[in-house]
Structure 1
Amino acid sequence: MKKAILFGASGFVGGYLLHDLLQSDSYEEVIVVVRKPLEVQHPKLKTVIAHYETLAQYQNELVADDVFIALGTTKKKTPDEKIYYQIDHDYPVLAAQLTKANGAKSVLMVSAVGANVNSSIFYVKTKGETERDVIEVGFEHTHIFQPSMIMGNRAESRPLEKVFIGIFSVVNLLLIGKLNKYKGISAKDIAKAMFTAAQQPAEKVKVYQWKEMQHLLQ
């Protein structure tokens, strides 16, 4: 059986992904890297308490076959662009580098639709640079997931986001053909798609938008 490591287990997608990994017979151990202990207990679960600044000190504990990265923040939560970039770019790239150096074969990462290194929009450009730099780490298989609006009920209150989710519930019906990549998708389904992709034969680099994620959910 394989070992998995998950960065972002306390997040929206990461929480669902952790559940799927722990319930699976495909993994004998699931390592989570978090800033504080989770309220989850399981025989297969190993917790590494670390911050970005100290992550390299724990490299010997970051040994797995499959690496799942579901890290990220929001402009509201992190208005400082320097800190935002550290969370959305530097941390995922460092996680990829450390685990690849330990022999990990595959990395599966949540990004965002429209990610583009040439964009003038900070958020979009950051996502694009993160994708580029994780791909350059050189895993045998790199899976990039690009959701649009992430649907579902978060533990934290985001009133404006709830409004957009309501809008997307209607707009989704109109987004057909080439526009379907902008359809909203639930955090639970993103997690399931990531888990499923890790169990299948893969290309060197594969990008999954709404349509590709739907295929994994069938």
Structure 2
Amino acid sequence: MVNKAVIVGASGLVGGELLNILLQENYYTEVLALVRKELPVRHKKLVQLVVNFDSLPEHANAINGKALFCCLGSTRSKTPDLSVYRKIDHDYPVQLAEIAKENKVASFHLISAVGANADSSNFYTRLKGETERDIKKVGLHVLHIYQPSLLTGNRMEYRFAERIATVLMKALDPLLLGGLKKYKSIPAAVVARAMYKQSLNSEEGVFVHPSHHIKQLA
């Protein structure tokens, strides 16, 4: 029996951790990574498909299987053009959800962010909220949305602001109690493990996992 997983955004912090899990664990027998350029990863289960994300429908036939993990995301420093930023964080994930529904992919898993709110005055949290809202409208049978706080881990690229934030959060995390728990920093590896485990759960519905709950799922 072929259990196929599709992962998008495998070059990122969470995506990289998740790709390792998918390749190491036995449940998924095939892993398809949609990439802009090939990753320096080789494994008998891994198939890399280099795609132009502006032409996702052209690759729809390959996007099928048990689970689709959408780990796409960018930053303002990396993508200063807000129209391009929106395509990466909103348009591509919504298109992937539509293709997943059409191809009867069993479950869809989206990385969002703490504070996501379509009505927010902040560009980042508003965009994440709009993405969540529009993917919910697609009508997937199984949708998991993960809202991590500041992600920690070893990035391939150096981000000065995030490095400073990580140091600060180490001091602040113990002080974030009660309703503030969701703002505690969280290791990318923990988010990835939670995503993998939830993909083994076939319960139908829309599930939104705030950061402090993600830790319990991992």
Same-fold call, TM > 0.5? yes
Structure 1 position 201, deviation (Å): 4.3
Q: CA RMSD in A?
A: 1.1
Distance 1:214 1:82 in 2: 33
Distance 1:173 1:213 in 2: 17
Instruction: Tell me what 2:7 maps to.
Output: 6
Structure 1 position 203, deviation (Å): 4.5
Alignment of 1:55-204 (within 5 A): 55-204=56-205
Structure 1 position 118, deviation (Å): 0.6
Give SS of 2:201's match.
Answer: coil
Give SS of 2:113's match.
Answer: coil
Instruction: Tell me what 1:29 maps to.
Output: 30
4+ runs of 1 displaced by more than 2 Å?
200-203
Structure 1: segments with no counterpart, 5+ residues: none
CA offsets 1:18-53 (integer angstroms, 9 cap, x no match):
010111111111111001111111111111110211
Give SS of 2:29's match.
Answer: strand
Equivalenced residues, count: 217
Give SS of 2:57's match.
Answer: helix
Structure 1 position 212, deviation (Å): 1.3
TM-score after normalising by structure 2: 0.96
More displaced stretch, 54-63 vs 85-94: 54-63
Give SS of 2:189's match.
Answer: helix
Distance 2:162 2:59 in 1: 36
Sequence identity (%) = 43
Instruction: Tell me what 1:49 maps to.
Output: 50
Structure 1 position 136, deviation (Å): 1.4
Distance 1:52 1:201 in 2: 29
